[in-house]
Amino acid sequence: MARVLLISANFTKFPYPVYPIGMGYIARACEAAGHDVDQEDIQLDGLESIISRVAEFNPDMVGLSIRNLDNCDSGNFKSSLEGVCSLVETIQAAAKKPLVLGGSGFSLYPEALMQRTGADYGIVGEGEHTFAALLQAWDRNRLPPPGMLFRAKEHTPALTFHSSLRSPRLMAHYLRFGGVANVQAKRGCPYECAYCAYPLLEGMEFRCREPRDVVEECCELVRRYQADYIYFTDSVFNDPGDVYLEIAEQLIREDLKCRWTAFFRPRKGWRPEEIDLLHRSGLDCVEWGGDCSTDATLAAMRKGFDWAAVEESNNRFADKGIANGHYFIFGGPAETRETAAEGLGNVSRLRHSVVFAFTGIRIIPRTLIHRLALEEGVVGADWDGLEARFYFSPGLRREDVDTLIRDSFGEDICRIYPPTRNEELIAALHRLGLKGPLWDYILKARRRKKE
């Protein structure tokens, strides 16, 4: 049996602190294999405390979970790359035991991060089986030479990732300073959005957990940890097979009275009974994956639906009193001054909604945007992805789109640009004990102001 120390290296707290659910999946796999596991978190514990824990726990292996390397916001860019590199160096010096990197932030730039940090091993993609296999090799004194990368041969079947192993200490912190408990109902994404990394990380097919298992995890979070707001972390919650509706039905049967939200894919043809079911199950607000605001830019981004689907989806849920959140990117492929102006006009018609506007797209290696950036000379063939680069349409000047957005949004508190404008306000509301994403409170504030 090995002593395994797992550390979450997520330095980002906006829009709210996110519980390290991926680290919990690794912890669950290690525990199931009979190992002694401890979970630490740079956000909660800080570097000095973690180093003290290294000395106290004396781990045989250390796993570092990297969720992201930057905030992907061209207007207010913040990078945690140097913080991650410094953390790796410090822990290696303190532990003097094999250190394994993993997580979504690592898996997008594995070779570059291995070279930059000098870590012993790296796991690309889902790590439950691979990390357990490394521990088995350690137990047999057969660890491979340092510097190796491991990639899962196939994605983990849905039935084998039942739930994340939660740390009560970490749960208490995240529920206090964010109020949101996260649950993964499925992995994978079959869509081919030009900028997105989900298919790279999780594969191009939905692998849905059994609704009963998903809801049992929700019940544990509510009844054991007193969570009262759940965020489903799926790439897209509303799958074509309607498993998401089965989850909603199960939530109603359990009578949890717990609010929840998720990312939904816009579509046409929403039935009133579907929306009613979701609302009765606790759906509090919807975050839509529209990304673009005109037919031309939606097609160029490979979204697979048109603007009418976005507007219809928003308004159907608004009719039920459900708040709508949108994240629109201006300056992507095929964007011009004319499409930006058209798109802002479209956005102005979205009822009962909060809109966050972004400019430019953070280029991620191996995506369609990366391919386009190579063709247009935005990045070179030797660019490894660590130093952030943003794609911006050659048909539009940055200062022009900035002016267009500011003029369109004006003083409307429900139209937010730049997206970090309310960062301090949201943090203050969380400190006061308000729960959830909190952007829906902006809608409530506007309604009170009108009254």
Q: What is the DSSP string of 389-402?
A: -EE--TTS-HHHHH
**CA proximity to 87, closest of 64, 70, 68:** 64
Within a domain: 36: yes
Residue 104 has pLDDT above 80, yes or no: yes
285 and 337 assigned to the same domain: yes
Task: List, for residues 171-211, the tens digit of each pLDDT value.
Answer: 999 998 877 999 999 999 999 999 999 999 999 999 999 99
191 and 145 assigned to the same domain: no
Selected residue with higher pLDDT from 257 and 304: 304
Within a domain: 446: yes
Q: Please give the mean pLDDT across all residues of the chain.
A: 93
Selected residue with higher pLDDT from 446 and 276: 276
Residue 160 has pLDDT above 60, yes or no: no
Q: What is the DSSP string of 209-277?
A: PPHHHHHHHHHHHHHHH---EEEE--S-SS-TT-HHHHHHHHHHHHT---EEEEEE---S---HHHHHH
347 and 219 assigned to the same domain: yes
Task: List, for residues 238-264, the tens digit of each pLDDT value.
Answer: 999 999 999 999 999 999 989 999 999
CATH number at residue 321: 3.20.20.70
58 and 205 assigned to the same domain: no
Overall average pLDDT of the 52-74 stretch: 96
Selected residue with higher pLDDT from 110 and 158: 110
Within a domain: 325: yes
Do the beta carbons of residue 120 and residue 146 sit within 8 Å? Answer: yes
pLDDT recorded at residue 449: 55
Q: In sequence order, what E strands does 265-389 have?
A: 283-291, 323-330, 353-359, 361-362
Tokens of 215: 């809801």
Within a domain: 171: no
35 and 144 assigned to the same domain: yes
Number of H helices, E strands in the chain: 18, 17
Residue 362 has pLDDT above 80, yes or no: yes
Task: List, for residues 64-77, the tens digit of each pLDDT value.
Answer: 999 999 999 998 89
Residue 445 has pLDDT above 70, yes or no: no
Within a domain: 131: yes
Residue 158 has pLDDT above 60, yes or no: no
202 and 347 assigned to the same domain: yes
37 and 146 assigned to the same domain: yes
Q: Over pLDDT 70: what percentage of the chain?
A: 96
220 and 306 assigned to the same domain: yes
Question: With bands split at pLDDT 50, 70 and 90, how would you rate the model's confidence at 234?
Answer: very high
Within a domain: 414: yes
pLDDT recorded at residue 408: 98
Angle between helices 81-95 and 110-117 in degrees, nearest 10: 50
Residue 9 belongs to what domain range? 3-151
pLDDT recorded at residue 435: 75
Tokens of 119: 């870590």
* Gyration radius of the chain's alpha carbons: 22
Within a domain: 164: no
Other CB atoms within a 10 A radius of the CB of residue 403 amount to 12
Task: List, for residues 369-412, the tens digit of each pLDDT value.
Answer: 999 999 999 999 999 999 999 999 998 999 999 999 999 999 99
97 and 187 assigned to the same domain: no
Question: With bands split at pLDDT 50, 70 and 90, how would you rate the model's confidence at 17?
Answer: confident
Tokens of 126: 């889902």
Compute CA distances 64 → 20, 127, 156, whole Å.
11, 12, 20
Task: List, for residues 324-346, the tens digit of each pLDDT value.
Answer: 999 999 999 999 999 999 999 99
Q: Domain tally for the chain?
A: 2
Overall average pLDDT of the 148-164 stretch: 71
pLDDT recorded at residue 241: 97
pLDDT recorded at residue 178: 78
298 and 196 assigned to the same domain: yes
Q: Residue 347 and residue 344: Cα distance in Å, rounded? A: 5
105 and 235 assigned to the same domain: no
CATH number at residue 30: 3.40.50.280
Within a domain: 162: no
305 and 225 assigned to the same domain: yes
Predicted TM-score (pTM) of the model is 0.94
